[in-house]
Structure formats: C-alpha cells, structure tokens
Amino acid sequence: MCRRILLFVLMLWCVRAEAGFVPEQPIMPVRDLRPNMTGYILTVLKGTEPERLPIKIVSIAPQKPGRELSDEIIIRFTGRHKLAQGMSGSPVYVQGKLIGAVRSGWDMSDQTLACVAPIESMCRVFDEEASQKSLTPTPYSLTSNLYISGLNPSNSSLLALGRTLGLTFTQGVSLSAQDLTVSPYRFRPGDAVSAMFVWGDIEAGAVGTITATSKDGRFLAFGHPVNKAGKVSYPAAKTYIHEVVNSLQFPFKLASPASINGVFTHDREAGAGGRSGLYPPSIGAEFRFKNLDTGAQSSYRFRVIADEFMSRELLVKVFTALAEEAWGSKGQGTMMVNLHIDGKAIPDGWSRRDIFYSDEDILEKAFEQAEHIIDAYLTQPFEETMPSGFVMTVEATQKPRVLLIEDVKLSKETAKPGESITVTVKLRGWRTAPIERKFTMKIPADANDGVCMLVVRGGSVESSEQISVDEGWKSIDSLGRMLTEFKAADANNELILELYADRTGEIINAVLDQLAEKGKKDKKTKKDEKPAEPDSGLLPEEEEYLSETKARYIEEGTMRVFSSEYFIDGMMKRLIHVEK
C-alpha cells in the first residue's frame, strides 16, 4: 500500500513538474515594455550559429480575455536583415531579458514589422488546461509553409496534403544522403529547429527557432502553433540554414534537418514545447516502384510521426506523390499495387494485392483502396497499437493490362442436383489472342427442378457485399476480423464464377434484381440456401461474414475464384436447367 502511494505521489509530482515551465533565461514581462525600447532577436541566418538582429518595439496590442496569448508585441527590424519564414520562435531580448518570440508578419510587405508572442503566454504551453481557442487570425504565420526535400513541392499529391493540413510546401534541401541520426544535444535559444513529419529519403517539416530552455531539458519554440494539435510527438531536429531566400510574397530560410535531438510534445496557440534528449515513436514506410515499360526501378524508405490521424494523410499522400514522380506521366495505365503491414498485433504481417486500370488517370484510381485500408488500420478502435511499418510495392505500365470476359460455355445445359459441370471462360487481352480457362462447378444437391443461373464476372463488377454487416446483423469487432474481411473483399484481378440455385422457380428475376440493386435480396431465392433455423429467421449470408460466406460457397462448389495478373473486366450469365 505504501509503495502504491509513493508511486502515485511520484507520478503526480512528474505531472506537475511537466506543467510549469521556468526559462533559464531572465525574462521581462509585457507590462514593463514601452514603445521605442530597443533590443535584438537571436536567429540563424546561415549555418547553425545564431546571430543578433537589432529591433525596436513599436506597440503593444492587448488581446481579448480567455485567449492563450494575452498580448502581442509589435516590433520593427532596424538593421539590414528583415523577417523571414523560419524565424518564428526566435527569442526577442530587451535590456538583455527575454520578452518573447517572433510569431508572425505581413506578406506582400517590406517585412520589417513582426508580431511577438509574450514569453509569459508561451510558458503556459505545457499547461494541461491551456485553451485551444484560436486567436483572431494572425497576419501571416511563419510556418504556413513546410519544406519538403526528395519530392517536388508542386506535386499534386503534396498540394492535396497541404490543403488537408492547411499548409503549403516549399522546396527544401537534403543535407546528406544519410538518414537523420539521433544524437545527444541540448537545444539553445536561437537554434534553428525543425518539427519533423516525414524523415528519411523524404523529409518534410516545419522550420522555426528555439525560444527558451529550462533546467529540466525542456524547450519552447515557434511562438505559434505548428499544427495546433495539442499533445503531439514530433521529432525535434537541429537544423542547418543554407541561406535566406528573398521572395516577393515572403522571404524564407532554405533549411535542412541535421540530426534529431529531441521531441515536440505540445503544439498550442502560443507555441510549441518539447524536451531535448528524447526520441519519439514513429512508423516506418517503404515504397518500391517498377516501370514495366522501361525497366526503371526506384525505392524509398522513410518514417512518419506516430499519430493515428495525421499519419494516414502523410503515408497515403507521400506514397502517391512518390508514384507520381516515379511514373512521370498522367493518363491511362495499369498498376499492380501490393500493400504490406507489419506490427506487434500482426506477428506474421498482413498483405493485400490488387490491380487497377484507368483509361483516364491511373494515379487517381490506384491508391484509393490502400488509402482506405491504411485509414482503417490507423484509426481502428480495437487495440491501442501502432504498426511498425507499411511497405507499398507498385508495378506500372501504360498498356491496358486487361482481360475482358468474351464468352462462357457450359459442358452441359441440363444437369441433375449434385452433378458437376465444366465451365469454359474465354478471356481476351488488349489486342491479343483470346485464352481459355476451365472450371468445375457443382449443382446444389437440394436444387429443385427449374433453372440455375451462372454469373461470371470480374472482381470489380458487382462486388460481393458484407450483407450481415451492412444490414446490421453483425459488426466488425476486432482488428483481426477487420483485416480478414479486407482480405476477403473481391479484387480487380479476380475472375469470379457464382452459381445461383433455384429453390422456388423465381430464380431468374430474383438474381437479376440482386445484381441490379445491391443489398436488396429476395429471401426465397438465395444461392443454394437451406431453410433458416426457426429461431433466427435469417439467411445464412445474414449470419456470416463475407469471408465465411465465400469459404462456404467455394466448399460447396457454387463459387470459384481465379486470381490473375490482369484487371478482369466484364460480366456474362448462363442458365442451367435442373432436372431431378
């Protein structure tokens, strides 16, 4: 009991210690500031060493009560250097004391004026009760842009990611061909720092400046939110500045992360806070691409932050952006996509392979399924577990790698219940000679006199449904079940044969209705169904998951699934007369 109390007190002490931030540097409160007081900001203009840039206080702008930012201080640069993106968080000193951090400015101006976040407001970044209310819009946040290296910032997938995050990308520069190293370093005020979202062969992050440090190894930076996500886990990387680039809209620092030296743990209105010497969890990713037309191959490895909601956007958009750059064209094509997931919750890993074809824009189609799976996995409610990695392998060709169902022949058009028939399917590739595949199917033993309908289709045509889930009889109740049902879903490269058995003499109309209007079923005309148990009143399909239904059909001989290396298109039907 005493041990439990001691542990509780220790945990409580840690929480309280984390909440209060006391700068090592002496500070001057806003109430002591007056217009025309002079001072300097500390920021890196080139390399890694901070420089002093002279400033003068112009005005103090009080904010409305209840805001995280109590006031804003307006300063003017009085030397030859002006405001630039990447200076956000740069500490501002007056009379040798810290008054706050550069926060924002005005675009399309002369960039001599800047807004400063008071240090008193920034010290509350670590407070758990800190409000998440937005300020009235700031003039121009100095990290409205994220730098990206390894990809073109005008890539359409990155533009889409920027719209999702409310940010835009500018071109960054990779400092070396090596991965970012993790090294012990205690951040100092004025250091250039990057909040990293992606790192490895691809790097994406927001560059800013360290504002203040405390004796326990924590730091403050940016003077405004990076993504205003509250509690976060972004790697904090010491950053090299190549040059300050002049721009008509807004100058910016051309930056490269040099090494990961800590972690951002809080991202709030008044700034971002973190701790030196810690390394955050992350998700590994690998992208492999092969152009089947030219033989060209490329491979990229990178990591993204371990955030259930932000990671899904980063992974999918970076995967798509890499494909866009490797593909180098827009328009028709075929892509074979394999997504593999590793993680503690799936010791043997999990994979799904599918083929996509479009005669308009293959890039738009090829990653929709992977996006859905990644999204579902990262946001699943069943287990608090993050995957260790995603691997996406893509093979692409501009040729229509498509097989069209051209004809279906039956070994016999009349059969008895329980009898097997041979089905020959003719498939034609794009401008090639047709090929044939033979399948054996079985008439249900309890089929009545009448007709059975054979449906032969591509996996993308009238895909099988999760009837029990869609109609509310069952639910996806575990991570394992979710992955099993993803695996069971029809794939575009599958040739699927389904035999609908007649039990009432109304099979034809019922099946046609079923194929035309998904989810609406006539309970009297389901495929080879047995009468429902009296206590359930449900069809077998309403009591099974799709994976179970398909396994039952295949075992009965009323379904066959053939996986190919092509996108299977089309659908054909045939009738089989059943005579006992």
CATH code of the domain covering residue 383: 3.30.1490
Exposure of 226 in the CB half-sphere (CA atoms within 13 A): 35
**Tokens for 197?**
């979202």
- Maximum mean pLDDT: which of 6-15, 39-48, 78-87, 124-133: 39-48
Once rounded to an integer, what is the mean pLDDT over residues 390-416?
96
Here the CATH number for the domain that contains residue 90 is 2.40.10.10
* Tokens linked to 16: 């309280």
Identity of the highest mean pLDDT range in 104-118, 150-164, 504-518: 104-118
Q: Which residues contact 81 (CB under 8 A, 6 or more apart)?
A: 45, 53, 244
Residues 269 and 288 in one domain: no
Residue 421: the pLDDT is 96
Q: Write out the DSSP string of 362-428.
A: HHHHHTHHHHHHHHHHHH-SS----EEEEEEEEEEESS--EEEEEEEEES-SEE-TT-EEEEEEEEE
Q: Residue 179: what pLDDT?
A: 67
Question: What confidence score (pLDDT) does residue 148 get?
Answer: 73
| Residue 454 and residue 347 share a domain | no
Tell which wins on pLDDT, 146 or 397.
397
Mean pLDDT of the chain: 85
DSSP string spanning 4-43? HHHHHHHHHHHHHHHH----SS-B--GGG--TT-EEEEEE
Region 448-472 average pLDDT: 92
Which domain-ending residue is among 280, 305, 328? 280
pLDDT computed for residue 512 by the predictor: 46
The answer to whether 146 touches 155, Cβ cutoff 8 Å, is no
* 288 and 276 belong to one structural domain: no
What is residue 5's predicted lDDT score, i.e. its pLDDT? 33
Q: Last residue of a domain, which of 256, 280, 304?
A: 280
Spatial distance between the Cα atoms of 488 and 348, rounded to a whole number of angstroms: 18
Rounded average pLDDT over 320-339: 91
Q: Do 310 and 449 fall within a single domain?
A: no
550 has pLDDT over 50: yes
Q: Give the mean pLDDT of 516-545.
A: 60
Rounded to the nearest 10 degrees, how much is the dihedral formed by the CA atoms of 266, 269, 270, 275?
10
Please tell me the predicted confidence (pLDDT) of residue 109.
Answer: 80
- Does pLDDT of 142 surpass 60? no
Same domain, 21 and 112: yes
Instruction: Give Cα 432 distance to the centre of its chain.
Output: 39
Asked whether residue 219 carries a pLDDT value surpassing 80, the answer given is: yes
| pLDDT given for residue 527 in this prediction | 47
- Predicted confidence (pLDDT) at residue 404 exceeds the cutoff of 90: yes
Decide: residue 5, CB within 10 A, 0-12 exposed, 13-18 middle, 19+ buried: exposed
Pairing of strands 420-429, 230-245: unpaired
**Residue 419 sits in the same domain as residue 519:** yes
pLDDT-based confidence at 12, cuts 50/70/90?
A: very low
In 447-539, alpha helices (H): 467-470, 479-488, 507-516
Task: Judge if 485 and 546 occupy the same domain.
Answer: yes
Band of the pLDDT at 107, cuts 50, 70, 90?
Answer: confident
* Planar angle of CA 495, 498, 502, nearest 5 degrees: 165
| CA atoms of 486 and 466, how far apart (whole Å) | 10
C-beta atoms surrounding 574 within 10 Å: 16
Residue 13 is part of which domain span? 1-280
Q: Convert 438-472 to b/e letters by CB count within 10 Å (16 or more is b).
A: ebebbbbeebbebbbbbbbbbbbbbbbbbbbbeee
* Residues in Cβ contact with 370 at an 8 Å cutoff, skipping those fewer than 6 apart: 316, 319, 337, 339, 392
Of 154-158, 229-233, 440-444, 527-531, minimum mean pLDDT range: 527-531
**Among candidate residues 432, 452, 430, 456, the one with its CA nearest the CA of residue 443:** 452
pLDDT band of residue 68 (cuts 50, 70, 90) is low
pLDDT of residue 382: 93
pLDDT of residue 229: 84
- Tokens coding 290: 């092969």
Task: Specify the pLDDT at position 129.
Answer: 46
Q: Check whether residue 386 and residue 437 sit in a common domain.
A: no
Q: Is 56 exposed, middle or buried (0-12, 13-18, 19+ CB in 10 A)?
A: middle
Q: What is residue 535's predicted lDDT score, i.e. its pLDDT?
A: 52
pLDDT given at position 64: 65
Q: How far apart are CA 240 and CA 207, in angstroms?
A: 10
Instruction: Tell me, yes or no, whether 135 and 272 share the same domain.
Output: yes
The angle that helices 156-165 and 308-327 make with each other, rounded to 10 degrees, is: 160
**Residue 72 and residue 1 share a domain:** yes
Among the candidates 372, 397, 422, a domain finishes at 397
Mean pLDDT score, 384-390: 88
Give the position of tokens 């491979």.
299
**Whether pTM exceeds 0.85:** no
What's the whole-number mean pLDDT along residues 203-212? 93
CA nearest to 197, candidates 322, 306, 86, 121 = 306
* Residue in the block written with tokens 């009591």: 543
Calculate mean pLDDT across residues 430-455.
92
Helices first, then strands: H and E counts in the chain? 11, 29
Percent over 70 (pLDDT), the chain: 82
- Check residue 67 and give its pLDDT: 64
Q: What is the DSSP letter of 83?
A: -
Over residues 514-542, mean pLDDT? 56
Asked if residue 264 and residue 323 are part of one domain, the reply reads no
- 146 and 170 Cβ atoms separated by less than 8 Å: yes
Q: Mean pLDDT, to the nearest integer, of 28-36?
A: 92
User: Which pLDDT score, from 0 to 100, does residue 135 have?
Assistant: 31
Q: How many domains, the chain?
A: 3
Residues 467, 382 share a domain: no
Give the mean pLDDT of 156-163.
69
The DSSP code sequence of 254-320 is EEEEEEEEEEEEEEETTEEEEEET----EEEEEEEEEETTT--EEEEEEEEE--HHHHHHHHHHHHH
Dump pLDDT digits (tens) for 188-202. 999 999 999 999 988
Give the pairing type, strands 203-213 and 218-221: antiparallel
